[in-house]
Structure 1
Amino acid sequence: MNAPHYAHWPKGLPHAITTPDTSVYVNLQVAAMRYSRKPAIIFYDTVLSYAQVHEQVLALAGYLQQVCGVQRGDRVLLDMQNSPQFIIGYYAIMRADAMVVPVNPMLMTDELHHYVDDSGAKAALVSQEIFSRIAPLVGKTCLSQVVVAAYSDYLIAPTELNVPDFVRAPYAVTAMPGVTPWKQALDAGHAPRAHAAGPDDLACMPYTSGTTGKPKGCVHTHRSVMFNSVASPTWSGPMAPDHVTLAVLPFFHVTGMQSVMNAMIYTGGTIVVLPRWDRDAAGQLITRYKVTTWTLIPTMMIDFLSNPRLAEYDISRLQRVSGGGAAMPAAIAQKLLDLTGQTYMEGYGLSETMAASHVNPPNRMKQQCLGVPYLNVDARIVDPVTLKEVPQGENGEIWIHGPQVFQGYWNDPKKTAEAFAELDGKRFFRSGDLGYVDEEGFFFFTDRLKRMINASGFKVWPAEVEAMMYQHPAVQECCIIAARDPYRGETVKAVIVRRPGSDASAEDVMKWAQEKMAAYKVPKLVEFVDALPKSATGKVMWRSLQEKEMEK
């Protein structure tokens, strides 16, 4: 493998690192032993120490095992916004030797039904503002036990910060069989069994969609989750336990989960948690708690730097600002550099790689660039037809080999086989993304081999949205494409052929979709046409519609 990027490798850092042969939960156990009184979580001025977090993790793990019947290898849904309960719940599931199934809290009942059925989850940890969406599934599917959390339980210290109503709301879920309040589950005081999960046990299964229209579970073991939990804080210099991060990326997404939550737990750092993006709260928290690292997406940075109150906040202590999901606009990156001296560190990864496989080196950061294959990673650019590596500068599919690559898709050996290929005696994951490598070994993204819309960092798979849109009585045919959006980058557009006799309006369709699917998947634009373009075999020619849209 030609590796010109090693010329720009972080000084003193080996090309490969060794990670612990333990479960991810042990990272918290070790941090609690080392830094028992140190702040682990800050939630609107309420501080939880590592000792307190670990104690609650043990209590919840005991409840999952002793009351919910969770066994080694079982799947447990985790469906809530960023909060102390998400972190505690995540580690409690792993402490119970089970597998975390992180769920986007924007998903609706029909979408959640697939996650429950496909994963076979018998238990779930859910926040109360979301519970009404999962309640119809309790006892009607394999899901029989749900622990419901109210974020307000962790608003202990007084605060003048702007706390949203859904966070302040007291617990108000009507009692029903199989449903237990979070506080009651902890107060039950059940002790967990001896921890049995090791590095090759099931750990976490984020879902990703694809051309089939149904989300697929990406199977990760503790070993693959552990790798980026360690590699992320190692890459830009040893991460001391005194670092403080602002958690604004959602924990259910692999970047927020790995580069923020798990990385800080591994190092013993402090996580300042925001459940929902708020630029003023972010500025106040960065100032108040002397935040040193911040991982976010470009739309958040654009909003943050356009705040008229920006001068009120002290962001001078930031030592690393990083992210991915979309390229950071050059003008915004320059403004960040002027204000803080920090160059935005862009990276690249997928649910299948449990966050990063590529990151820009701290001493040679290129903008609008995926970075270089980082610690332990071998990545190639390959012709997707001939399956041969292409020369430097030529376009091809990005292939990835590394310890963070997933084991395969849950219960889907066919899709798993299609996702991997062998090259030079190694098993590579085929990302489905197209790109090229420059003369210095840096990777750049150019296009997608698969259909996908990137709306503010959220992946929207057109086939999945189309499958749901066909449930609408006015839709005879539908094609979902991307439309340009000045804020989100891309947004969802539906091109629809109405059923004969229907007079449904675009507003009718969008309102219906809002009740059926997560907000980021809902078409923001609807265009009615007489017919969709089709090939000789009758397939909808989505690419021609997409190209026509992008020419506008």
Structure 2
Amino acid sequence: MMDVPTWNTPFWPEGVAKTVPDYKFPLFKIFDDAAAKNPDNVFTIFNGGTRTYAQAKDTADRIANFLIKKGIKKGDKVALFLPNIPHFPEIFFGILKAGACCVNCNPIYTASELNHQLNDSESKMVFCMDHPEFYKNTVNAIKGTGVETVVVCNIKSYLPKLKGFLGSLLGKLPKADSHEPGHIMFDDMVAASSPNPPKISIDPENDTAVMLYTGGTTGVPKGAELTHTNFTYDVTALNEYGRYVHEPGKPAEKLRQNGFHTFLGVLPWYHSFGITCAMLSATLSGSKLVCIADPRAGKPPFTDVLKTVQTYKPTIMPAVPTIFVAFTNHRDIDKYDLTSIIGCFSGGAPLPPEVCKQFEDKTGATIFEGYGLTETTPVVSANPTNKKQRKIGSIGFPLPGTNVKIVDLATGETELAQGEDGELAVCGPQVMKGYWNRPDANDEVFRTIDGLRYFLTGDIAHIDEDGYILITDRKKDMIIVGGFNVYPRDVEDILYTHPSVELAAVVGIPDKRSGESVKAFVKLKPGETVTEDDMKEFCKQNMAGYKRPRSIEFRDEIPVSNVGKVLRRVLRDEEIKA
């Protein structure tokens, strides 16, 4: 394959290389290297409990050994149905060490949503949390799937001894009411396994490390196959691109290594943004990683995470704009010291300039906005990490070793002139292998241009006169709620399972708190009567919280095209005008 062209702009950040070498290796190597260099350094922090790199590696090695003994073979799928608890990275790297593929599942999914992922991915094992809801959903979700083994993770052993003892005594630790026969407790599994991982040959460029589900450009859930190299490139390129002012008044420098930094794990690790920019970036730099299982915890919401920042003094905070909004609008923000934060990577949705200003004024940090997709592991581009060269409202420049083109909307094959709006196409080592078992979908999104393989993002963009990339619209109907992708068809398909629904349409409408919110338009079958509360309760039972329509409007008619296709844009335009 030809080399990817370097990006041409006079505003390229000073000192940052245009390409990155030496990134083609198994993903778990960054973990093993960090443990070898600094075995006694703290890796994870969770409610006062800490785990060193050596302890975490020991557990990951035991998990890999366990997987092999349970019959997991190279390329088999193992699902993680977990929030951000310290078990997550240990299980993640253990799965990779066994040569298997991690299938990261949203822990707030309903049983039916999880069932689809387990079935489609052909997962053979699932790790879930010992929790009344998460465990119950797992038990129901594995019915009719190929899952042969369930491992249940209780948090008690990862807490300080006194806190774990008192939590158990007072019944405050989450725990399922009972466990199904044959399901294995995580601590028992670790204790019974030896820390001798198998020797598995990994082809980093072709072996799938992680499968993440996304609606892509159509909204039909598909598994994006992300290779070891997809991740190792992206974290290596991010590490090269970032320049931070570690000490006020001194020049910016590369991210310091070997335990200097603490990453705030406020983004979920089942999501590509959280896994790459928090969990894996922390690991690559040998940093500490604060596990935030529920960012909204506390009264009012987000209070606990503010307390965590003050206590553990994180320096790096990747987050979506709604997190920055929650911080700056928190009624008690002035009671907390947030000045430890040096740098923040914002993504998932456009960052309002005023939110950026308010957060930076409060913390002294620098926020740099980036862009990516699940299919690109996820980071494609980012603003320079210094305030002088970043351009608020843009997504900056492609990462070193990445190139983008603006192509025509009709075919996705013709490159447009600088300044013209077209579809953003991406070429780089972070672009996924493809969609799992979906050659039709792959044909839709990949194009060969100038001898290189480009991925069509579905986003409309242009490149300005200074070389900065600006997103101007979305080609697809995807809705972004607080940084999470909601695909109208996914929600509509669930609404259609209601026995009284004849026709349904879902659109995103502007929302000050979450960027966009979901609104559903429903036409009932003749003679049927359903209230908005009834429909919302149905949605609560059948879809994750961020997907649920915040408002539901019943209509006698829903606009459709000549061929019967629901005209979502007409409904969206009506809402915006209203």
What TM-score bracket applies, with the shorter chain setting the length?
Answer: over 0.9
SS of 1:538's equivalent? Answer: coil
Aligned residues of 2:496 and 2:504 also touching (Cα < 8 A): yes
Q: Which residue of 2 aligns with 1:371?
A: 396
Q: Which residue of 2 aligns with 1:258?
A: 276
Aligned residues of 2:65 and 2:198 also touching (Cα < 8 A): yes
Cα distance in 2 for partners of 1:171, 1:43 equals 17
The 1:260/1:168 distance shift into structure 2, 3 A limit, reads: farther
- Kindly provide the amino acid, as one letter, of the partner of residue 355 in structure 1: P
Structure 1 position 16 matched with structure 2 position 34: no
Show the 5 A alignment for 1:103-502: 103-129=105-131, 130-138=134-142, 140-156=144-160, 168-172=172-176, 174-190=178-194, 191-199=196-204, 200-210=206-216, 213-237=219-243, 238-239=254-255, 240-241=257-258, 242-277=260-295, 278=297, 279-363=302-386, 364-386=389-411, 387-502=413-528
Give the root-mean-square deviation of aligned CA atoms.
2.2
Greater shift after overlay, 326-335 or 260-269? 326-335
Cα distance in 2 for partners of 1:369, 1:529 equals 39
Deviation at 1:212, TM superposition (A): 5.1
Structure 1 position 61 matched with structure 2 position 64: yes
Aligned residues of 2:101 and 2:209 also touching (Cα < 8 A): yes
SS of 2:366's equivalent? Answer: coil
Show the 5 A alignment for 1:79-98: 79-98=81-100
- Kindly provide the amino acid, as one letter, of the partner of residue 219 in structure 1: E
1:111-160 deviation per Cα after TM superposition (whole angstroms, max 9, x unaligned): 11111111100101111231211212436320111111123331125579
Cα distance in 1 for partners of 2:276, 2:76 equals 22
Q: Which residue of 1 aligns with 2:246?
A: none
Aligned residues of 1:138 and 1:145 also touching (Cα < 8 A): no
Q: Which residue of 2 aligns with 1:544?
A: 570
Identity %: 31
Deviation at 1:85, TM superposition (A): 1.0
Cα distance in 2 for partners of 1:182, 1:404 equals 33
Q: Which residue of 1 aligns with 2:77?
A: 75
Q: Which residue of 1 aligns with 2:251?
A: none
Q: Which residue of 1 aligns with 2:247?
A: none
Greater shift after overlay, 173-182 or 473-482? 173-182
The 1:523/1:32 distance shift into structure 2, 3 A limit, reads: same
- Kindly provide the amino acid, as one letter, of the partner of residue 312 in structure 1: K
Q: Structure 2: which 5+ residue stretches go unaligned?
A: 244-253
Cα distance in 2 for partners of 1:132, 1:98 equals 25
Cα distance in 2 for partners of 1:533, 1:355 equals 35
- Kindly provide the amino acid, as one letter, of the partner of residue 267 in structure 1: S
Cα distance in 1 for partners of 2:160, 2:488 equals 43
Deviation at 1:5, TM superposition (A): 5.2
The 1:360/1:159 distance shift into structure 2, 3 A limit, reads: farther
Aligned residues of 1:249 and 1:255 also touching (Cα < 8 A): yes
Aligned residues of 1:151 and 1:167 also touching (Cα < 8 A): no
Deviation at 1:207, TM superposition (A): 0.7
Deviation at 1:196, TM superposition (A): 2.8
Cα distance in 2 for partners of 1:297, 1:37 equals 32
- Kindly provide the amino acid, as one letter, of the partner of residue 375 in structure 1: P
Cα distance in 2 for partners of 1:470, 1:176 equals 33
Aligned residues of 2:102 and 2:209 also touching (Cα < 8 A): yes
Cα distance in 2 for partners of 1:183, 1:168 equals 19
- Kindly provide the amino acid, as one letter, of the partner of residue 128 in structure 1: D
- Kindly provide the amino acid, as one letter, of the partner of residue 360 in structure 1: N
Cα distance in 1 for partners of 2:278, 2:449 equals 33
Give the TM-score taking structure 2 as reference length. 0.91
Aligned residues of 1:5 and 1:442 also touching (Cα < 8 A): no
Aligned residues of 2:217 and 2:457 also touching (Cα < 8 A): no
- Kindly provide the amino acid, as one letter, of the partner of residue 269 in structure 1: S
Aligned residues of 1:79 and 1:124 also touching (Cα < 8 A): yes
Aligned residues of 1:463 and 1:480 also touching (Cα < 8 A): yes
- Kindly provide the amino acid, as one letter, of the partner of residue 404 in structure 2: A
Greater shift after overlay, 186-195 or 223-232? 186-195
Deviation at 1:338, TM superposition (A): 2.0
Q: Which residue of 1 aligns with 2:561?
A: 535
Aligned residues of 1:371 and 1:442 also touching (Cα < 8 A): yes
- Kindly provide the amino acid, as one letter, of the partner of residue 533 in structure 1: P
SS of 2:127's equivalent? Answer: strand
Deviation at 1:253, TM superposition (A): 0.7
- Kindly provide the amino acid, as one letter, of the partner of residue 513 in structure 1: C
Give the TM-score taking structure 1 as reference length. 0.95
Greater shift after overlay, 148-157 or 353-362? 148-157
Q: Structure 1: which 5+ residue stretches go unaligned?
A: none
Greater shift after overlay, 18-27 or 416-425? 18-27
1:384-409 deviation per Cα after TM superposition (whole angstroms, max 9, x unaligned): 11532222222110000000000110
Aligned residues of 1:373 and 1:379 also touching (Cα < 8 A): yes
Aligned residues of 1:149 and 1:171 also touching (Cα < 8 A): no
SS of 1:495's equivalent? Answer: strand
SS of 1:459's equivalent? Answer: strand
Deviation at 1:431, TM superposition (A): 0.3
